[in-house]
Structure 1
Amino acid sequence: MSHLLDKAKNYVSEKLAEMKKPEAEVLDVDLTDVSRSCITYDAKVSVTNPYSTSVPICDITYCLKSNNREIASGTVPDPGSLKGNDTTLLNVGLKVPHSVLLSLARDIGADWDIDYDLAIVLIVDLPIFGNISIPINSKGEIKLPTVSDLWSK
Protein backbone atom coordinates (compact mmCIF):
# COMPACT_ATOMS: atom_id res chain seq x y z
CA MET A 1 0.00 0.00 0.00
CA SER A 2 2.81 2.46 0.84
CA HIS A 3 4.38 1.72 -2.56
CA LEU A 4 1.16 2.80 -4.29
CA LEU A 5 0.97 5.95 -2.14
CA ASP A 6 4.60 6.85 -3.03
CA LYS A 7 3.83 6.46 -6.74
CA ALA A 8 0.82 8.76 -6.39
CA LYS A 9 2.92 11.38 -4.57
CA ASN A 10 5.60 11.22 -7.27
CA TYR A 11 3.01 11.55 -10.04
CA VAL A 12 1.41 14.61 -8.43
CA SER A 13 4.77 16.29 -7.73
CA GLU A 14 5.91 15.69 -11.35
CA LYS A 15 2.69 17.20 -12.70
CA LEU A 16 3.08 20.23 -10.42
CA ALA A 17 6.65 20.72 -11.61
CA GLU A 18 5.53 20.59 -15.25
CA MET A 19 2.57 22.94 -14.67
CA LYS A 20 2.77 26.20 -16.58
CA LYS A 21 3.01 29.29 -14.42
CA PRO A 22 2.51 32.96 -15.27
CA GLU A 23 5.72 34.58 -16.55
CA ALA A 24 6.74 38.19 -16.13
CA GLU A 25 9.43 40.64 -17.23
CA VAL A 26 10.24 44.31 -16.72
CA LEU A 27 9.91 46.11 -20.06
CA ASP A 28 10.98 49.61 -19.09
CA VAL A 29 11.50 52.03 -16.21
CA ASP A 30 10.57 55.67 -16.95
CA LEU A 31 10.24 58.95 -15.05
CA THR A 32 6.58 59.78 -14.42
CA ASP A 33 6.47 62.55 -11.82
CA VAL A 34 8.64 65.00 -9.90
CA SER A 35 7.24 66.36 -6.65
CA ARG A 36 8.65 68.21 -3.67
CA SER A 37 9.11 65.00 -1.70
CA CYS A 38 10.21 62.45 -4.30
CA ILE A 39 10.74 61.43 -7.89
CA THR A 40 8.34 58.75 -9.14
CA TYR A 41 9.40 56.21 -11.72
CA ASP A 42 7.08 53.76 -13.44
CA ALA A 43 8.22 50.18 -14.00
CA LYS A 44 6.25 48.60 -16.83
CA VAL A 45 5.86 44.88 -16.13
CA SER A 46 4.50 42.46 -18.72
CA VAL A 47 2.85 39.33 -17.26
CA THR A 48 1.70 36.42 -19.43
CA ASN A 49 -1.10 34.26 -18.01
CA PRO A 50 -1.22 30.76 -19.57
CA TYR A 51 -4.61 29.94 -18.02
CA SER A 52 -8.00 30.47 -19.67
CA THR A 53 -9.39 32.27 -16.60
CA SER A 54 -8.22 35.47 -14.99
CA VAL A 55 -5.91 35.12 -12.01
CA PRO A 56 -6.11 37.59 -9.12
CA ILE A 57 -2.92 39.35 -8.04
CA CYS A 58 -2.73 39.35 -4.26
CA ASP A 59 0.29 41.57 -3.84
CA ILE A 60 3.11 43.32 -5.69
CA THR A 61 6.20 44.27 -3.71
CA TYR A 62 9.30 45.99 -5.03
CA CYS A 63 12.82 46.86 -3.95
CA LEU A 64 14.96 49.27 -5.98
CA LYS A 65 18.70 49.26 -5.27
CA SER A 66 21.64 51.26 -6.54
CA ASN A 67 25.25 50.53 -5.59
CA ASN A 68 23.92 47.70 -3.37
CA ARG A 69 21.91 50.24 -1.35
CA GLU A 70 18.14 50.20 -1.13
CA ILE A 71 16.78 53.47 -2.47
CA ALA A 72 13.08 52.60 -2.65
CA SER A 73 10.78 49.79 -1.59
CA GLY A 74 7.09 49.31 -1.16
CA THR A 75 3.87 47.56 -2.02
CA VAL A 76 1.36 48.30 -4.77
CA PRO A 77 -2.17 48.50 -3.34
CA ASP A 78 -5.00 46.68 -5.15
CA PRO A 79 -3.02 45.48 -8.19
CA GLY A 80 -6.01 43.83 -9.95
CA SER A 81 -5.84 40.57 -11.90
CA LEU A 82 -4.20 38.93 -14.91
CA LYS A 83 -6.39 38.46 -17.98
CA GLY A 84 -6.95 34.84 -19.07
CA ASN A 85 -4.80 33.58 -22.00
CA ASP A 86 -3.38 37.06 -22.44
CA THR A 87 -0.56 39.41 -21.52
CA THR A 88 -1.28 42.05 -18.89
CA LEU A 89 0.77 45.24 -18.59
CA LEU A 90 1.20 46.35 -14.97
CA ASN A 91 2.56 49.73 -13.87
CA VAL A 92 4.55 49.63 -10.65
CA GLY A 93 5.17 53.11 -9.23
CA LEU A 94 8.59 53.50 -7.59
CA LYS A 95 8.90 56.55 -5.31
CA VAL A 96 12.50 57.66 -4.73
CA PRO A 97 13.00 60.38 -2.07
CA HIS A 98 15.23 63.30 -3.04
CA SER A 99 17.43 62.71 0.03
CA VAL A 100 18.42 59.29 -1.31
CA LEU A 101 19.41 60.79 -4.66
CA LEU A 102 21.78 63.19 -2.90
CA SER A 103 23.54 60.26 -1.24
CA LEU A 104 24.14 58.71 -4.68
CA ALA A 105 25.90 61.83 -5.98
CA ARG A 106 29.05 60.03 -7.21
CA ASP A 107 27.10 57.60 -9.40
CA ILE A 108 24.75 60.32 -10.63
CA GLY A 109 27.45 62.89 -11.35
CA ALA A 110 29.27 60.72 -13.88
CA ASP A 111 26.42 60.33 -16.39
CA TRP A 112 23.26 61.84 -14.85
CA ASP A 113 21.60 58.48 -14.33
CA ILE A 114 21.21 55.84 -11.64
CA ASP A 115 22.43 52.30 -12.25
CA TYR A 116 19.74 50.17 -10.66
CA ASP A 117 18.82 46.64 -9.66
CA LEU A 118 15.04 46.20 -9.40
CA ALA A 119 13.43 43.21 -7.69
CA ILE A 120 9.67 42.82 -8.00
CA VAL A 121 7.63 39.96 -6.56
CA LEU A 122 4.11 39.25 -7.85
CA ILE A 123 2.02 37.02 -5.61
CA VAL A 124 -0.88 35.49 -7.52
CA ASP A 125 -3.66 33.24 -6.26
CA LEU A 126 -3.95 30.08 -8.37
CA PRO A 127 -7.06 27.96 -7.79
CA ILE A 128 -6.29 24.65 -6.03
CA PHE A 129 -2.57 25.50 -5.59
CA GLY A 130 -2.95 28.70 -3.59
CA ASN A 131 -0.58 31.65 -3.64
CA ILE A 132 2.57 31.46 -5.75
CA SER A 133 5.33 34.05 -6.00
CA ILE A 134 6.68 35.23 -9.34
CA PRO A 135 10.06 36.92 -8.84
CA ILE A 136 11.18 39.45 -11.47
CA ASN A 137 14.63 41.01 -11.56
CA SER A 138 15.88 43.76 -13.84
CA LYS A 139 19.06 45.81 -14.08
CA GLY A 140 19.58 49.00 -16.04
CA GLU A 141 19.90 52.76 -15.90
CA ILE A 142 17.29 55.33 -14.89
CA LYS A 143 17.76 58.81 -16.30
CA LEU A 144 17.30 61.64 -13.82
CA PRO A 145 15.17 64.67 -14.63
CA THR A 146 16.89 67.77 -15.97
CA VAL A 147 16.17 71.30 -14.77
CA SER A 148 13.74 71.77 -17.67
CA ASP A 149 11.88 68.62 -16.55
CA LEU A 150 11.49 70.07 -13.06
CA TRP A 151 10.03 73.36 -14.27
CA SER A 152 7.71 71.85 -16.87
CA LYS A 153 5.69 69.90 -14.24
Structure 2
Amino acid sequence: MRATSLGVKVSLGVIGVSVIFAALKMSQLLDKAKNYVSEKVTNMPKPEATVTDVDFQRVSRDSVQYLAKISVSNPYSTPIPICEIKYSLKSAGREIASGIIPDPGSLKAKDSTMVDVPVKVPHTVLLSLARDIGADWDIDYQLDIELIIDLPVIGNISIPLSQKGEIKLPTIRDMFSK
Protein backbone atom coordinates (compact mmCIF):
# COMPACT_ATOMS: atom_id res chain seq x y z
CA MET A 1 0.00 0.00 0.00
CA ARG A 2 2.91 2.33 0.67
CA ALA A 3 4.33 1.93 -2.85
CA THR A 4 1.04 3.00 -4.37
CA SER A 5 0.80 5.95 -2.02
CA LEU A 6 4.36 7.03 -2.87
CA GLY A 7 3.63 6.74 -6.60
CA VAL A 8 0.53 8.93 -6.24
CA LYS A 9 2.53 11.54 -4.30
CA VAL A 10 5.27 11.56 -6.95
CA SER A 11 2.67 11.86 -9.72
CA LEU A 12 0.94 14.75 -7.91
CA GLY A 13 4.34 16.40 -7.40
CA VAL A 14 5.16 16.09 -11.10
CA ILE A 15 1.73 17.51 -12.00
CA GLY A 16 2.28 20.41 -9.56
CA VAL A 17 5.68 21.22 -11.08
CA SER A 18 4.15 20.98 -14.58
CA VAL A 19 1.39 23.42 -13.59
CA ILE A 20 3.98 25.87 -12.22
CA PHE A 21 6.02 25.68 -15.45
CA ALA A 22 2.85 26.14 -17.54
CA ALA A 23 1.91 29.19 -15.46
CA LEU A 24 5.41 30.65 -15.94
CA LYS A 25 5.22 30.06 -19.70
CA MET A 26 1.76 31.70 -19.79
CA SER A 27 3.10 34.66 -17.82
CA GLN A 28 6.01 35.04 -20.24
CA LEU A 29 3.61 34.81 -23.19
CA LEU A 30 1.37 37.51 -21.68
CA ASP A 31 4.40 39.76 -21.07
CA LYS A 32 5.46 39.35 -24.71
CA ALA A 33 1.92 40.17 -25.87
CA LYS A 34 1.78 43.29 -23.65
CA ASN A 35 5.17 44.45 -24.93
CA TYR A 36 4.08 43.90 -28.55
CA VAL A 37 0.83 45.86 -28.11
CA SER A 38 2.64 48.61 -26.17
CA GLU A 39 5.25 48.95 -28.92
CA LYS A 40 2.58 49.09 -31.64
CA VAL A 41 0.59 51.77 -29.74
CA THR A 42 3.75 53.81 -29.11
CA ASN A 43 4.72 53.74 -32.78
CA MET A 44 1.26 54.37 -34.22
CA PRO A 45 0.57 57.85 -35.59
CA LYS A 46 -1.30 60.18 -33.27
CA PRO A 47 -3.12 63.45 -33.87
CA GLU A 48 -0.86 66.49 -33.63
CA ALA A 49 -1.78 70.07 -32.78
CA THR A 50 -0.25 73.54 -33.00
CA VAL A 51 -1.38 76.96 -31.87
CA THR A 52 -1.53 79.02 -35.06
CA ASP A 53 -2.73 82.36 -33.68
CA VAL A 54 -3.80 84.17 -30.54
CA ASP A 55 -5.54 87.45 -31.27
CA PHE A 56 -7.97 90.01 -29.90
CA GLN A 57 -11.58 89.17 -30.70
CA ARG A 58 -13.92 91.60 -28.90
CA VAL A 59 -14.59 93.74 -25.84
CA SER A 60 -17.63 93.36 -23.63
CA ARG A 61 -18.71 95.30 -20.52
CA ASP A 62 -16.90 92.92 -18.18
CA SER A 63 -14.07 91.38 -20.19
CA VAL A 64 -11.81 91.29 -23.21
CA GLN A 65 -12.11 88.16 -25.32
CA TYR A 66 -9.17 86.69 -27.19
CA LEU A 67 -9.32 83.84 -29.65
CA ALA A 68 -6.71 81.10 -29.86
CA LYS A 69 -6.76 79.14 -33.10
CA ILE A 70 -5.47 75.59 -33.01
CA SER A 71 -4.75 73.40 -36.01
CA VAL A 72 -5.19 69.69 -35.24
CA SER A 73 -4.25 67.02 -37.78
CA ASN A 74 -5.99 63.63 -37.71
CA PRO A 75 -4.00 60.82 -39.40
CA TYR A 76 -6.91 58.34 -39.23
CA SER A 77 -9.60 57.59 -41.80
CA THR A 78 -12.36 58.17 -39.27
CA PRO A 79 -13.40 61.33 -37.42
CA ILE A 80 -12.19 61.54 -33.81
CA PRO A 81 -14.26 63.24 -31.10
CA ILE A 82 -12.67 65.92 -28.94
CA CYS A 83 -13.82 65.27 -25.36
CA GLU A 84 -12.81 68.63 -23.94
CA ILE A 85 -10.31 71.46 -24.13
CA LYS A 86 -8.69 72.89 -21.00
CA TYR A 87 -6.90 76.22 -21.17
CA SER A 88 -4.94 78.53 -18.91
CA LEU A 89 -3.71 82.01 -19.86
CA LYS A 90 -0.86 83.36 -17.72
CA SER A 91 0.82 86.74 -17.62
CA ALA A 92 3.42 88.17 -15.25
CA GLY A 93 3.74 84.76 -13.61
CA ARG A 94 0.08 84.37 -12.67
CA GLU A 95 -3.03 82.89 -14.18
CA ILE A 96 -5.35 85.55 -15.60
CA ALA A 97 -7.91 83.28 -17.28
CA SER A 98 -8.73 79.58 -17.39
CA GLY A 99 -11.55 77.33 -18.40
CA ILE A 100 -12.82 74.11 -19.89
CA ILE A 101 -14.68 73.76 -23.16
CA PRO A 102 -16.71 70.54 -23.02
CA ASP A 103 -17.42 68.56 -26.21
CA PRO A 104 -16.12 71.08 -28.78
CA GLY A 105 -16.71 68.77 -31.77
CA SER A 106 -14.71 66.29 -33.81
CA LEU A 107 -11.56 66.16 -35.89
CA LYS A 108 -12.10 65.58 -39.61
CA ALA A 109 -10.87 62.24 -40.97
CA LYS A 110 -7.44 62.37 -42.71
CA ASP A 111 -7.41 66.17 -42.54
CA SER A 112 -6.60 69.17 -40.37
CA THR A 113 -9.29 70.82 -38.29
CA MET A 114 -9.17 74.38 -36.98
CA VAL A 115 -10.40 74.58 -33.41
CA ASP A 116 -11.25 77.93 -31.82
CA VAL A 117 -10.60 78.46 -28.12
CA PRO A 118 -12.19 81.68 -26.83
CA VAL A 119 -10.41 83.10 -23.76
CA LYS A 120 -12.14 85.77 -21.65
CA VAL A 121 -9.97 88.04 -19.51
CA PRO A 122 -11.84 90.23 -16.99
CA HIS A 123 -11.06 93.97 -17.15
CA THR A 124 -10.10 93.94 -13.46
CA VAL A 125 -7.28 91.50 -14.22
CA LEU A 126 -5.99 93.65 -17.08
CA LEU A 127 -5.92 96.69 -14.79
CA SER A 128 -3.80 94.77 -12.29
CA LEU A 129 -1.29 94.06 -15.08
CA ALA A 130 -0.73 97.78 -15.76
CA ARG A 131 3.03 97.53 -15.10
CA ASP A 132 3.43 94.81 -17.73
CA ILE A 133 1.32 96.70 -20.24
CA GLY A 134 3.56 99.78 -20.13
CA ALA A 135 3.99 101.96 -23.18
CA ASP A 136 3.63 99.27 -25.86
CA TRP A 137 0.01 98.46 -24.94
CA ASP A 138 0.44 94.69 -24.94
CA ILE A 139 0.82 91.92 -22.41
CA ASP A 140 3.29 89.07 -22.43
CA TYR A 141 1.47 85.79 -22.10
CA GLN A 142 1.78 82.04 -21.88
CA LEU A 143 -1.19 80.03 -23.10
CA ASP A 144 -1.35 76.39 -22.01
CA ILE A 145 -3.93 74.24 -23.76
CA GLU A 146 -4.75 70.57 -23.29
CA LEU A 147 -6.85 68.82 -25.93
CA ILE A 148 -8.36 65.57 -24.71
CA ILE A 149 -9.45 63.33 -27.58
CA ASP A 150 -11.04 59.89 -27.61
CA LEU A 151 -9.16 57.35 -29.73
CA PRO A 152 -11.12 54.14 -30.37
CA VAL A 153 -9.72 51.07 -28.57
CA ILE A 154 -6.99 53.14 -26.84
CA GLY A 155 -9.23 55.59 -24.98
CA ASN A 156 -8.63 59.22 -24.07
CA ILE A 157 -5.29 60.79 -24.89
CA SER A 158 -4.12 64.27 -24.03
CA ILE A 159 -2.33 66.63 -26.43
CA PRO A 160 -0.62 69.41 -24.44
CA LEU A 161 0.21 72.72 -26.16
CA SER A 162 1.97 75.82 -24.93
CA GLN A 163 2.44 79.17 -26.65
CA LYS A 164 4.27 82.27 -25.47
CA GLY A 165 3.94 85.68 -27.03
CA GLU A 166 2.44 89.15 -26.79
CA ILE A 167 -1.22 90.07 -27.05
CA LYS A 168 -2.18 93.58 -28.05
CA LEU A 169 -4.76 95.19 -25.84
CA PRO A 170 -7.81 96.70 -27.54
CA THR A 171 -7.75 100.37 -28.42
CA ILE A 172 -10.70 102.76 -28.23
CA ARG A 173 -11.23 102.17 -31.95
CA ASP A 174 -11.42 98.38 -31.34
CA MET A 175 -14.06 98.86 -28.67
CA PHE A 176 -16.44 100.67 -30.99
CA SER A 177 -15.69 98.99 -34.30
CA LYS A 178 -17.16 95.57 -33.50
TM-score when scaled to structure 1?
0.96
In structure 2, the residue matched to 1:62 is 87
> Aligned match of 1:129 in 154, 159, 165?
154
Q: More relative contact order in 1 or in 2 (CA 8 Å, sep 6+)?
A: 1
Secondary structure in 1 matching 2:133: helix
Deviating runs (4+, > 6 A) in structure 1? none
C-alpha separation in 1, matches of 2:43 and 2:171: 49
Greater per-residue helix proportion = 2
Cα deviation per residue 1:36-73 (whole Å; 9 max; x = unaligned)? 10000000000000110000011011000001100000
Matched, 1:7 2:3: no
C-alpha separation in 2, matches of 1:5 and 1:43: 45
Amino acid at match of 1:71: I
Would you say how many aligned residue pairs link Structure 1 and Structure 2?
153
Amino acid at match of 1:39: V
- Deviation of 1:149 after TM superposition, in Å, equals 1.3
C-alpha separation in 2, matches of 1:89 and 1:47: 6
> Aligned match of 1:95 in 120, 127, 134?
120
Greater per-residue strand proportion = 1
Q: CA RMSD of the aligned region, Å?
A: 1.0
C-alpha separation in 1, matches of 2:90 and 2:135: 18
C-alpha separation in 2, matches of 1:116 and 1:46: 20
Amino acid at match of 2:78: T
Percent identity over the alignment? 68
- Deviation of 1:111 after TM superposition, in Å, equals 1.5
Greater Cα radius of gyration, structure 1 or 2: 2
Amino acid at match of 2:126: L
Q: Where does structure 2 lack aligned partners over 5 or more consecutive residues?
A: 1-24
> Aligned match of 2:56 in 28, 31, 56?
31
Amino acid at match of 1:75: I
TM-score when scaled to structure 2?
0.83
1:104-143 to structure 2, matched below 5 A, reads: 104-143=129-168
